[in-house]
Structure 1
């Protein structure tokens, strides 16, 4: 057994003031209470809150301050995410820092919460990194998890632990808790999901093991979540099966090249999905009906005219 200790910090997040000093205080408290912790992670958009006007270029002072904190305590650190300004684009970006205070990698959220997280550009690259002599870790952010392909890709890339900062304050949090359990089990990995409070979420952070069982679930108050993980459990699950039963990663491996997943072919027509309409915010039913009528009219206007003999169909 090679244990590895991770602490998630579930804290209040303000949308009108910087939360960076409080993050640093929470880190000080965590490391003084639990000096055996080797990695700390915060929730999504913890530093500056959920408003895109806080977007700033990377690297920046926030990263530098977090690098100093990681080096101070000799820990791995994932300080949630911030809105990154890059040219005309805004990304939701998380940084991974090693115990020497060096930036190991950055991850841009692949699935912004459209149609609500407007103005944010999706990232394109998956993110995994190795903790020497421990294992491989993957990074995913919030809504990414709703797309099983994202977590599955990280698992196929070898990730044994998924770090998943989130900012969920909506009434679907109960559904997300079930998704965390499902993603952990079908990918036979640890999944560390840390949510914020107030404008940063409704709490209820959750950590699951490679059999989908809950290792810890928080409630709606501030909390430090220190857990020692046995990474070997994920490897044993992948080798021998979940509870010595199903071996989903091996079965996926054995079918991935058979062409049975035809829906992933490039440029594949998707008439049913296209029929669902545009990705817009829900509105009143009468307004939706008007939009549907307009959409049908536009489709009719754009339809080609087909000739048959001398007549027009």
Structure 2
């Protein structure tokens, strides 16, 4: 299984230009992976003057021109693309990730945890999402989601072997947290962060890049710098391994015992 990460700056609020850049990067790539991962909200940016700015850029997934364009690229390179695309659904707006192949949309994940920025713009997702590809079970988490071990444990219980993690973060805490989550839940965690910045009157969001793939052992299979680039990395997943489920059950059991001891004092 090969995974390609596209670490990119974002042409602010210019979906067409962002799609054009992705197409150029894939065309220049020597080897496109079985899975291609793009950052959170790769086609729009993340921080805006007003919620109306990003909400105007959100797309209905059943008629999304961004998803259609990515599907054409997925067909061209015989791959599956995982990309952060702002979503509108029945008058609500979501920080969502679309999973797309050459036939179109496979499914989507709506960010469950919310930063103060997310709360200004988006409704909260409430459902985990998994999909199978080449015998491997994948899950999706977005940026801040990774800070919550309970969410990642639920994915492990669902049999997820590789967690795909589109992100927009500026500090390196998420990189360390990624390593911890990979070890404690025995998952590969594939983090695709962006670079560059979003500038508004009240805030400047700066993004550090440093996308990485962390193995269940905690070993880094790759870590980017702070430039725009694409890298394709082979990961060896053993679908028969159930260590993660045992680990999750043990953690849950220990938590229950700790709770009982606390009540007995």
| TM-score calculated relative to the size of structure 2 | 0.83
CA RMSD of aligned residues (A): 2.2
Match of 1:276 in 2: none
1:258 Cα shift?
8.4
Distance of 2:14 and 2:111 partners within structure 1: 23
Match of 2:107 in 1: 105
The match for 2:216 among 210, 218, 229 is 210
202 and 257 in structure 1: CA distance in 2 versus 1, 3 angstrom threshold: closer
Match of 1:152 in 2: 153
The match for 1:252 among 233, 238, 248 is 248
Match of 1:136 in 2: 137
The match for 1:222 among 205, 213, 228 is 228
Pairing 1:186–2:184 present = yes
Which of structure 1's runs of 4+ aligned residues deviate more than 6 A?
none
Structure 2: tracts of 5 or more residues without a match: 49-53, 199-206, 260-265
The match for 1:41 among 30, 37, 42 is 37
| TM-score calculated relative to the size of structure 1 | 0.71
Contact 1:160 1:235 in 2 (8 A): no
The match for 2:88 among 85, 89, 97 is 85
1:123 Cα shift?
0.4
Higher relative contact order (CA 8 A, sep 6+): 2
Show CA shifts across 1:52-96 (max 9, x none): 242222221111111111111111111x21221223321011111
Match of 1:311 in 2: none
1:257 Cα shift?
6.6
Distance of 1:64 and 1:261 partners within structure 2: 50
Pairing 1:56–2:52 present = no
Distance of 1:253 and 1:39 partners within structure 2: 30
Give secondary structure in 1 for the equivalent of 2:120.
coil
Q: Which has the larger radius of gyration?
A: 1
Structure 1: tracts of 5 or more residues without a match: 240-247, 264-313
Match of 1:71 in 2: 75
Give secondary structure in 1 for the equivalent of 2:107.
strand
1:213 Cα shift?
1.4
23 and 262 in structure 1: CA distance in 2 versus 1, 3 angstrom threshold: farther
Matches for 1:233-248 after TM superposition, within 5 Å: 236=241, 238-239=242-243
